[in-house]
Amino acid sequence: MTPTGVSRRRVDEVLARETGRFAELRPRGTRLLHDARRSMPLGVPMNWMSSAYEHPPVFVDAGSGASFTDVDGNSYVDFNLADTSMFTGYGVPRLVRVAAERVAAGSQFLLPTEDAIEVSEQLAGRFGLPKWQYTSSATQANSEAIRVARTVTGRNDVVMFDGKYHGHADELLAEAGGDGVKPLGRGVPRDATRHVRIVPYNDLEALERALADGEVACVLAEAAITNCGVVMPADGFHTGLRELVSEAGSLLVLDETHTLVAGPGGLTGRWGLDPDVLVAGKSASGGIPLGCYGMKDEVAAVLDDPSLAWDQGVATGGTLFGNALSMAAARVTLAEVLTDDAYESAAALGARLADGIESAARAHGLEWRAHRLFNRSGYTHAPELPGNAEEARATFDTDVYNLQRLYMANRGVWDAMDSAGPACGIQHSDADVDRYLEVLDAFLAEVAG
């Protein structure tokens, strides 16, 4: 038996069978992946497209609505949503038209287009922060947000919470280790994280200690941790966080890259939070690359000085950042696609999914809990939800989950990556959720007990 209540022997047997079935169902994809290794490491354009899954990646043909098909004609209802970035679903007609028109009229000038004004006003309305800047990814937006905080405060250090993921820039890859903070992964200088302090989530005393010496430029946090399953804030955590950061003279940077899908103003809007800087990306432009950060006026002032030469102001840049295509896509996505009703329907489906996951587990004698974060669910393989990343890691069986993901991929359901949890987009239906739960039930019938 595994600690999750699942039979280890059955896991091994089902894994062997499903791995064989995975290859049988994808002869063309398997050949393409083999041939692609002539020109790309692991046969993929970005290493993570392979390493994010335990099974081989599938080569995609096309997406439509809440589903996509691979080059072998297998179809998948998509609960990974490309790690939330395809919350809008695929092939949204208005976005297709606007993007095609923008490409025909020029997609990139290294100059502003009028769309940028509307996008900034849209974001200001949603998040209550008046000034906005753009990059091509959330990683880059987080990096610039930290530089802004350092400029505003004249300090260097950054506090982050254990279990976070804020992107793959050198210092964002900081991880708490036995003997302090070190970078995760190879190729990052060992001292790249010397200005990062990591504290456990929901631990306000540890946060207070980390802020005590007055050297911290900003606390970079998610409103709920979302890359270690989901860890919800304890009662009073956000109030305490805001107070401690203000008392320390630091800035509060909330990274809503993942949680943007929770509601029109992300979790900031849902929970009435008050960040100094807010970072977003992924779903804001319907799958066309865009990162952004919004700021209070007094923070944005360090970017708003026309007398500074480019090499004397905050270190920003990026030739394709805020380009005409990204801004056109964001304008139509925010104004016409990501409506209040769309968020509510995705959140209702997310709740239905969470209810169904808990019922399915119960029906098979498993004491599991489902995460509930509006459109997003996920798994705790234990009776209690985690209060921090350490508890989240201890109550999640990666082997069982990755087998479930493989089993589902062989039956038309594309489950989330193991760091996240299944999420509903705005084009999902009750029938899609029912399909997920049907396959989950079949999986649990094979491995439970």
Ligand X SMILES: Cc1ncc(COP(=O)(O)O)c(C=O)c1O
Chain residues that interact with ligand X, rule: CB under 6 A: 83, 137-139, 142, 165-167, 222, 227, 255, 257-258, 281-282
- The least distance separating ligand X from the CB of residue 165, rounded to whole angstroms, comes to 5
Q: Closest separation between CB of residue 222 and ligand X, Å?
A: 5
Task: Report the residue number, 120 or 142, with the smaller CB distance to ligand X.
Answer: 142
For the record, the structure tokens of 138 come out as 């959330």
In the complex, minimum distance from the CB of residue 8 to ligand X, in angstroms, rounded to a whole number: 31
Place of tokens 């209540």: 5
Q: What is the nearest approach in angstroms of ligand X to the Cβ of residue 310?
A: 24
**What minimum distance in Å lies between the beta carbon of 104 and ligand X?**
27
Q: Exposed, middle or buried: residue 38 (CB in 10 Å: 0-12, 13-18, 19+)?
A: exposed
Count the alpha carbons within 13 Å of 69 in the hemisphere toward its beta carbon.
9
Query: In this complex, which beta carbon is closest to ligand X, that of residue 165 or of residue 379?
Result: 165
Nearer to ligand X, 137 or 326 (CB): 137
**Shortest Cβ 164–ligand X spacing (Å):** 7
Q: Distances in Å between the alpha carbon of 242 and those of 208, 225, 407?
A: 11, 16, 43
| Torsional sign, CA 240, 246, 250, 253 | positive
Could you report how far apart the first and last alpha carbons of the chain are, in Å? 8
Please name which of 206, 272, 199 lies closest in space to residue 239, comparing C-alpha atoms: 272
Six token digits for residue 109: 């000038």
Whose Cβ is closer to ligand X: residue 46's or residue 212's?
A: 46
Place of tokens 């069986």: 397
In 37-137, alpha helices (H): 48-51, 93-104, 115-127
Nearer to ligand X, 18 or 162 (CB): 162
Q: How far is Cα 104 from Cα 98, in angstroms, rounded to an integer?
A: 10
Which CB, 7 or 419, lies closer to ligand X?
419
200 versus 266: smaller Cβ distance to ligand X: 266
Nearer to ligand X, 14 or 261 (CB): 261
Minimum distance from residue 152 beta carbon to ligand X (Å): 21
> Which alpha helices (H) appear in 204-274, and where do they start and end?
204-211, 237-247, 266-271
Distance separating alpha carbons of residues 347 and 221, to the nearest angstrom: 23
Query: Nearest Cα to 229, choosing from 50, 367, 417?
Result: 417
Query: Exposed, middle or buried, 330 (CB in 10 Å: 0-12/13-18/19+)?
Result: buried
Q: Which is nearer to ligand X, 281 or 287 (CB)?
A: 281
Q: Tell the smallest beta-carbon distance from residue 259 to ligand X (Å).
A: 7
Name the residue among 333, 215, 287 with its Cα closest to residue 60.
287
For residue 385, the minimal CB distance to ligand X (Å) is: 19
- Contact 337/284 with Cβ under 8 angstroms? no
